[in-house]
Amino acid sequence: MNQAKVLAQVARSFGERPAMSLGERVLYDYRTFADRVARLAGGLRALGLASGDRVALVMKNGPEYFEVMYGAWHAGLVAVPVNAKLHPKEHAYILDHSGSRACVASPDIAEALATVRDELPGLEHTVVTGTAGYDALLAHDPVPVAPVAPDDLAWLFYTSGTTGRPKGAMLTHRNLMVAVMNYFGDVDTILPTDCMIHSAPMSHGSGLYGLPHVAKAANTVIPESGGFDVAETLRLIERWPGCSFFFAPTMVTRLINTPHIGQADLANLKTIVYGGAPMYLEDVKRALDVLGPKLAQIYGQGEAPMTITGLPKHIYVDRDHPKWERRIGSTGFPRTDVEVRVVDEDGNDLPDGETGEVICRGDIVMAGYWNNPEATATSIRDGWLWTGDVGAFDEDGFLSLKDRSKDVIISGGTNIYPREVEEVLLRHPEVLECAVVGRPHQDWGEEVVAFVRPRPGAEVALAELDRLCLDNIARFKRPKEYRMVADLPKNNYGKILKTELRRQLGEPAG
């Protein structure tokens, strides 16, 4: 079912319930929300967009985000969420690769996109929120919800890979409905009196986790800051009953380590679903002590959202279980509607305790990668998604992740892929080789460190490397340290040994 149809049904039964709030004030109810979505859909159709066309959402968190997302689905279009923190050149690649005919952007991002407009010959319309152009979309007459098939594309999510270029994971209307039902079945219950506060980017997990809340007529709350501020978060918890969040682990640790957290009024806090990166056991235990039994964990990917495995709240409560610590340090057990295996390189099942690649199968798995049959064939084999993550099951079926075979760096809950940073650094004429790895960071989980081997006799200025990165990739991907080395450790096949580089990070630089 089209999620816009779900919204229409909710508005009919719970039209008076608060639907969208900004900070501590309600903006409008579900009846108004659904009407705005239907009018915006009419506006998008009036631009000449037809069923299946892509609409890019290059926006920071704001009330308009869900309007555009649901409006696109209402019109039978495909929503393309784009990380607002990316560099304009990275935005341009995603918009061009997805074939987006229209883009709705926040004002400051629209200004940056204008600098790469020549790289977007297929982009016909750019609408900026908070302007007359956006108001014009809402001024159209409402249109009926467009009919869709379960396997029609709904959400085209770009997730980087080892090639350094983002790949578009194609999520269908069936995928989204399964994700919504999965939340109800395995993560948490939701009442119309509840809310979800979107402190994490709505272009990622927070946005998708908003769908089950809309489906149950809960309130969508956008912080006025548009992001995660601890003091603001505590005020919003005190203001709104039954509030839930989707947090990266670093956000959880920042919340529980803020001064005076012991004096905060957390009575309204219902659930914090965390995921996107590992969370240390001691941090989990401290969060339970500070927040109470409010945690739920998920393990998934853009290719299989909400989720592959997870830990519901009742596992955290069972402190008397002899394996409690081991269980809350794991990523949990397979979701009800997902099959999960740990296999060797030939796809053979491995016994409990033995490490291999995690693969999964179910209706939550994407349809494939947009315009990339080679990557699709590599990732989906005989219906199984090969995640690229390495883990092991214990004897009770709880999965623990041991490593990330794709060498992804997770900083602040955001994936950073070393290859794309390395490719930028190698553009410097005096850089012969480089390797990028993650270093543990107390607040962000990991930070980026680049090992750089200059050409013989050459010197490379750190400021030049910094400028190269800032001109081509998002600021948060920029290395926090550059280490100049005479050579890079390699194995007999010439492959750089990143495990050795990570070991060297424990030694003084130079």
Residue 450 located in a structural domain: yes
Question: What was the pLDDT predicted at 493?
Answer: 46
Please, what's the largest Cα pairwise distance for the chain? 73
Number of domains comprising the chain: 1
Question: What was the pLDDT predicted at 491?
Answer: 66
Question: What was the pLDDT predicted at 443?
Answer: 85
Residue the block writes with tokens 């272009």 = 203
- Report the CATH number that the domain containing residue 455 is assigned in CATH: 3.30.300.30
Name the token pair of 356. Answer: 């291999």
Question: What was the pLDDT predicted at 510?
Answer: 41
Mean pLDDT, consecutive 10-residue stretches, the chain (510 aa), reads 97 98 98 98 98 97 97 98 93 97 97 95 97 98 97 93 76 97 95 97 93 98 96 97 94 90 96 86 92 96 93 96 95 96 96 94 98 96 94 95 73 82 90 90 91 92 94 94 92 71 72
Q: DSSP states of 341-354 as a string?
A: EEE-TTSPBPPTT-
pLDDT digits (tens, 9 = 90+) for 322-357: 999 999 999 999 999 999 999 999 999 999 999 889
Give 289: exposed, middle or buried? Use CB within 10 Å, 0-12, 13-18, 19+.
exposed
Residue 456 located in a structural domain: yes
Residue 473 located in a structural domain: yes
Question: Distance (Å, rounded) from C-alpha 150 to C-alpha 112?
Answer: 36
The parent domain of residue 430 ranges over 414-504
Question: Distance (Å, rounded) from C-alpha 62 to C-alpha 497?
Answer: 43
Residue 103 located in a structural domain: no
Is the overall model pTM greater than 0.85, yes or no? Answer: yes
Residue 179 located in a structural domain: no
Helices (H) and strands (E) in the chain, counts: 17, 26
- How far is C-alpha 317 from the chain's CA centre? 27
Residue 395 located in a structural domain: no
Give 489: exposed, middle or buried? Use CB within 10 Å, 0-12, 13-18, 19+.
middle
Question: What was the pLDDT predicted at 304?
Answer: 96
Beta-bridged to residue 390, according to DSSP, are 357, 403
Residue 423 located in a structural domain: yes
Residue 324 located in a structural domain: no
